[in-house]
């Protein structure tokens, strides 16, 4: 405890919301907080100052806020001081964060609002300010939406224009004024983009596929607009254009609205049709009615062929097929470290490689041109993992500690969750009985009722199993086995990995999740070798090792889905090649030549023949010249005349 208290520090946290605000806001907040701490008699000379710049307080996924959370969870914060509570968070989680801070031994001060967690009744003041701050944001969103609706009804731009259109200042003179409301902007057709919109509709009505059109637009260099970073066209972009009613002058606005969870995470949800706004803007029409109707008819036919059929259940979130049914150890597991794309397989039998699908020399393409040799990558990765799992690394200890804590917390919550499940099951059983009676006596003949009955029965079956599992766990408390037993199980996992079969492929996907590949190219060369980057999820390793251990798998399934997210290993790097002898000696040869050392001596020092030593040196010097900011075009010096290096054969003979 004494050691922990020594590490606790004073932290001053400041934040401002957007780039439109002054960058000095954080400095102003820090000054106000320090003055308040001085008045309170608190020494802040060694305080750690954490800034979040241009970050909204409605979200908690901020880099510096994450650092603050990590310090709090580690019990390193003695005092956390802010100018006002809204700097910390405007979401519905401020009270929970401050409560956790106090639980970890810290103290929270909001100097501008007079909140101090060492004062009685601080909980009410924090909760009231949390409600005030979150409500203010929601009210601000309502006002913004009201203003946008006014611009839409006034035939102006609300920033909702798509590809094929552009905004412009209605009165350019007002844009130069320092004060006053934001200048109004109108909408007009962007002909450079509109010509491609017309071409897309023309191709589609000729029978071209959407994928073909995306590839052809990319090949022809069609602009993608200012809202996308990639220069490539995708089938999804083309499909959205074909279904967009704005191209016939029907501007629909307000079809979705944004909601947030308690952590500030956002998502769009649909708005009822009676609350949506449709404005007729014939001056913005790009596609005529005949072309539009023909396009929609073909889209409907395609939907009938490939779309979801009546009675089908909603599909689950899209998962790459190799995650569920791997057809190789690394297929679908390796991603490009440069552009993030999943690597594709090429070649046959033993000569198989993974390459980036976006690679190329054109502008906008990925520069990752080196291929990953599959056989070598699998061999080195499996050996590395098998050796690592049998060595009991430090991150396994961290994962074990996290799992013990989570098991304790989950076990503590079982009675409460069990009571809730039993109440819900009782409600479902009543609903099922009523639905069955309604269908049995013939008073209801609705497909929707039958569908609801199916859903209720499925949920009831799921709850019965979960209730049964919870009762078993309450009857027999669960504990983790000893470290020695777990180590033996990890040795068995290492054996599975060494075999390299289907089970090994599934295991790799669970404990690695993602492997990234980049290229290592020595200076002056065009080719190099691949390098793999990855981390190991210690939590998933332990779950795999404990899958046959009594009731442990059942309680692991009962844990939250994000359990173990903070138990990864350190980053590992695995080279699938190495620099050649010439590449390793090239910098040293350049140093020796710069020092005036003759080629005959260099040959003796390096052990390279004269031809290879000279080529290594020249390649290195050329690469340095290419990187030189002055772009010195002087040719590299030739070997000394007294070395008689006029050609390769004479150099080799003299070196001998």
pLDDT in tens, 233-265: 999 899 999 999 999 988 887 778 777 666 667
Judged by average pLDDT, the poorest of 331-345, 565-579, 642-656 is 642-656
If pLDDT is split at 50, 70 and 90, which confidence band does 651 have?
very low
* Main-chain phi, psi angles of 63, to 5 degrees: -60, -50
If pLDDT is split at 50, 70 and 90, which confidence band does 180 have?
low
State pTM to two decimals: 0.42
Residue 474 host element (H or E): helix 447-475
What residues does each domain of the chain span? Answer: 2-139, 165-306, 394-575, 581-655
If pLDDT is split at 50, 70 and 90, which confidence band does 563 have?
low
Judged by average pLDDT, the poorest of 126-130, 364-368, 575-579 is 364-368
If pLDDT is split at 50, 70 and 90, which confidence band does 411 have?
confident
User: Which top CATH class is 165-306?
Assistant: alpha beta
Q: What is the pLDDT of residue 637?
A: 52
The per-residue pLDDT for range 421-434, each reduced to its tens digit, is 888 888 888 888 88
* Pairwise CA distance, residues 407 & 413, whole Å: 10
Q: Which residue has the higher pLDDT, 626 or 516?
A: 516
Q: What is the pLDDT of residue 642?
A: 40
If pLDDT is split at 50, 70 and 90, which confidence band does 196 have?
very high
Distances (CA, A) of 639 to 248, 463, 615: 72, 83, 11
Of 383, 326, 333, 378, the residue nearest 352 (C-alpha): 378
If pLDDT is split at 50, 70 and 90, which confidence band does 655 have?
very low
Task: Give percent above pLDDT 70 in the chain.
Answer: 81
The per-residue pLDDT for range 451-485, each reduced to its tens digit, is 677 778 878 888 887 888 778 777 766 666 677 77
* Pairwise CA distance, residues 154 & 166, whole Å: 17
Residues 407-426, mean pLDDT to the nearest whole number: 81
Average pLDDT, the chain: 79
Task: For strands 185-189 and 165-169, give the pairing.
Answer: antiparallel
* Burial label, 577 (beta-carbon count in 10 A; 0-12, 13-18, 19+): middle
Q: Which residue has the higher pLDDT, 519 or 444?
A: 519
Of 500, 497, 492, the residue nearest 511 (C-alpha): 497
If pLDDT is split at 50, 70 and 90, which confidence band does 361 have?
low
Residues 592-604, mean pLDDT to the nearest whole number: 87
Q: What is the pLDDT of residue 479?
A: 65
Where residue 64 falls (left for φ over 0; alpha for ψ -120 to 50; beta otherwise) is alpha
Question: How remote is the C-alpha of 46 from its chain's centroid?
Answer: 35
Q: What is the pLDDT of residue 144?
A: 78
Q: Which two tokens stand for residue 75?
A: 């019990």
Q: What is the pLDDT of residue 644?
A: 40
Residues 62-87, mean pLDDT to the nearest whole number: 87
Q: What is the pLDDT of residue 586?
A: 85
Judged by average pLDDT, the poorest of 342-346, 505-509, 612-616 is 505-509
Distances (CA, A) of 127 to 33, 65, 88, 102, 546: 21, 20, 13, 15, 42
The per-residue pLDDT for range 98-120, each reduced to its tens digit, is 999 999 889 999 998 899 999 99
CATH superfamily of 2-139: Resolvase, N-terminal catalytic domain (3.40.50.1390)
Q: What is the pLDDT of residue 336?
A: 92
Task: Give percent above pLDDT 90 in the chain.
Answer: 16
């Amino acid at each position: 405890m004494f050691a922990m208290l020594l590490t606790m520090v004073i932290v001053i946290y400041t934040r401002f919301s957007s780039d439109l605000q002054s960058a000095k806001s954080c400095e102003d907040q820090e000054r106000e907080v320090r003055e308040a701490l001085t008045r309170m008699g608190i020494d802040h000379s060694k305080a750690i100052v954490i800034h979040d710049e241009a970050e909204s307080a409605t979200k908690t996924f901020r880099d510096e806020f994450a650092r603050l959370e990590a310090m709090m969870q580690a019990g390193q914060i003695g005092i956390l001081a802010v100018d006002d509570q809204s700097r910390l968070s405007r979401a519905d989680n401020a009270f929970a964060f401050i409560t956790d801070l106090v639980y970890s031994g810290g103290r929270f001060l909001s100097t501008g609002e007079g909140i101090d967690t060492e004062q009685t009744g601080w909980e009410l003041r924090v909760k009231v300010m949390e409600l005030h701050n979150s409500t203010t944001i929601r009210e601000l969103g309502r006002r913004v939406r009201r203003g946008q609706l006014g611009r839409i009804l006034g035939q102006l731009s609300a920033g909702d224009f798509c590809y094929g259109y552009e905004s412009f200042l209605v009165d350019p003179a007002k844009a130069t004024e320092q004060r006053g409301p934001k200048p109004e902007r109108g909408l007009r057709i962007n002909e450079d983009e509109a010509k491609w919109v017309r071409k897309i509709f023309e191709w589609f009505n000729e029978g071209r596929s959407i994928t073909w059109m995306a590839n052809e637009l990319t090949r022809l260099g069609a602009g993608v607009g200012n809202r996308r970073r990639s220069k490539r066209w995708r089938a999804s972009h083309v499909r959205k254009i074909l279904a967009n009613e704005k191209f016939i002058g029907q501007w629909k606005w307000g079809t979705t609205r944004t909601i947030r969870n308690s952590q500030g995470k956002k998502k769009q949800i649909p708005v009822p049709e009676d609350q949506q706004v449709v404005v007729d803007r014939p001056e913005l029409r790009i596609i005529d009615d005949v072309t539009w109707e023909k396009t929609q008819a073909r889209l409907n036919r395609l939907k009938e062929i490939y779309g979801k059929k009546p009675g089908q259940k909603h599909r689950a979130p899209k998962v790459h097929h190799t995650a569920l049914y791997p057809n190789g150890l690394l297929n679908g597991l390796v991603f490009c470290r440069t552009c993030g794309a999943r690597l594709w397989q090429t070649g046959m039998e033993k000569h198989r490689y993974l390459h980036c699908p976006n690679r190329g020399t054109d502008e906008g393409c990925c520069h990752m041109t080196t291929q990953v040799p599959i056989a070598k990558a699998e061999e080195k990765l499996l050996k590395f993992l098998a050796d690592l799992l049998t060595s009991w690394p430090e991150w396994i200890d961290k994962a074990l500690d996290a799992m013990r804590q989570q098991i304790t917390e989950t076990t503590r919550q079982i009675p409460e969750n069990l009571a809730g499940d039993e109440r819900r099951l009782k409600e479902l059983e009543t609903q099922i009985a009523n639905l069955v009676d309604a269908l049995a006596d013939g008073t209801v003949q609705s497909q929707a009722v039958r569908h609801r009955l199916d859903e209720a029965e499925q949920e009831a079956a799921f709850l019965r199993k979960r209730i049964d599992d919870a009762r078993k766990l309450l009857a027999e408390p669960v504990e983790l086995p000893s470290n020695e037993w777990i180590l033996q199980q990890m040795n068995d996992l290492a054996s599975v990995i060494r075999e390299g079969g289907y089970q090994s492929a599934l295991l790799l996907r669970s404990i690695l999740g993602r492997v990234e590949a980049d290229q290592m190219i020595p200076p002056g060369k065009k080719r190099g070798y691949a390098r793999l980057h990855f981390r190991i999820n210690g939590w998933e390793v332990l779950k795999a090792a404990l899958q046959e251990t009594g009731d442990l798998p059942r309680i692991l399934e009962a844990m939250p889905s994000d359990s173990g997210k903070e138990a990864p290993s350190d980053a590992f790097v695995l080279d699938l090649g190495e620099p050649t002898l010439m590449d390793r000696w090239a910098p040293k040869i350049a140093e020796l030549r710069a020092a005036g050392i003759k080629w005959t001596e260099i040959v003796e020092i390096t052990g390279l023949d004269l031809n290879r030593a000279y080529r290594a040196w020249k390649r290195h010097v050329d690469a340095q010249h290419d990187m030189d900011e002055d772009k010195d075009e002087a040719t590299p010096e030739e070997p000394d005349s007294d070395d008689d290096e006029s050609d390769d054969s004479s150099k080799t003979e003299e070196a001998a």
